[in-house]
Amino acid sequence: MTTSTESTVTTTSPPARGGRSARRGFSWRWLVHGIVLVLMISWFVPILALLVSSIRTQGDAASSGWWTAFVRPLFTAYNYQLALEEVGVAGSLGTSLAIAVPVTVLTTVLSLIGAFALTRMRFPGRTALSLILVALLVTPPQITLVPLLRVYHAVGLSGTIPAIWIYQVGFTIPFGIFLVRGFISGIPAELFESASVDGATVLRTFRSIVLPLSIPVMASLAIMQFLWSWNDLLTPLIFLGGSSVPAPITVEVAGLAQQTSQGQGALMAATFLSIVIPLVLVIALQRYFVRGVLGGAVKG
């Protein structure tokens, strides 16, 4: 009788402990989900407020808060028409795209090539070049603005979009190589050895092995570079100031914020248009972002 009771207790005890662990895990999971939900709401509400404010009439926006639009909905597209046609936001968006897209492509491609060369190729001065890249990571780009502006004046690049390409690409490549190099270092050496045994050239190895495996880290770098270039205010303000090229969207929005002749509606519409493209990009490529950053953070 005693043996049967002990057997019953021994058999039923582990499920009870497992049940308590499952309940604790269930509670923690809901807590994490709740925190994430609060952060998502905190991030989304300002965007929603900006969107609602951009489609309200001037009178409603001046007399009541944006949340009252859901009680008395009265929306208009006039603010966007004003921003695109009279303020010139369309040309500013075109200039921002003409700057950010080439800079993103050049930075991503050159960083991948440089990281592959420093990781898998042997050549004199490789260590010194790596140290120079690390030193450039801590060099403030602002200290080169005046010297570069003088050089651009001397060679005729002042007031042109390629001048911004050179500046932004040049000061982002060290970080890009640093990020991608850690990712490439994590690729198993057996893959490169197998490619070498099969007679693959360096170019073929780069195209068939490194390039497909590096898509996540390239997407992460592309997102960061696009956001940095798109949101940059100081560089286009200095290198494009006084030229006939339409100002980028950041400069245009900053100018609208300082004057009130067009009203707050045009400012809200221009601001929302300035965040739509980066927002769509981040949402579309967000699954690659974390994978690429974490992959590039681990070496070996």
Q: What angle do CA 47, 48, 52 make, to 5 degrees?
A: 120
CA distance 145 to 143: 6
**Token pair in block for residue 263:** 């009203």
**pLDDT at position 67 over 70:** yes
| CA atoms within a 13 Å half-sphere pointing along the CA-CB vector of 58 | 12
CA distance 229 to 171: 11
Q: According to the per-residue pLDDT averaged within each range, which of 57-61, 68-72, 97-101 is highest?
A: 97-101
> What does each C-alpha distance from 181 to 4, 176, 215, 234, 242 come to in angstroms?
64, 8, 13, 29, 40
CA distance 75 to 256: 22
Q: What angle do CA 241, 242, 244 make, to 5 degrees?
A: 110
Query: Over the stretch 158-186, which tens digit does the pLDDT of each residue have?
Result: 888 999 999 999 889 988 998 888 888 88
pTM: 0.79
Domain 87-297 bears CATH identifier 1.10.3720.10:
yes
Query: Over the stretch 211-261, which tens digit does the pLDDT of each residue have?
Result: 888 888 888 889 889 999 999 988 888 888 777 888 899 988 888 877 755
Instruction: Say if CB 87 and CB 263 are below 8 A apart.
Output: no
The candidate with the shortest Cα–Cα distance to 176, out of 112, 121, 128, is 112
Instruction: Say if CB 279 and CB 47 are below 8 A apart.
Output: yes
Place of tokens 């690409």: 169
**pLDDT at position 10 over 50:** no
The candidate with the shortest Cα–Cα distance to 281, out of 113, 95, 112, 96, is 96
pLDDT given for residue 8 in this prediction? 47
Sign of CA dihedral 295, 298, 299, 300: negative
Mean pLDDT of the chain: 80
Question: Higher pLDDT residue, 148 or 7?
Answer: 148
Question: Higher pLDDT residue, 299 or 98?
Answer: 98
pLDDT given for residue 25 in this prediction? 53
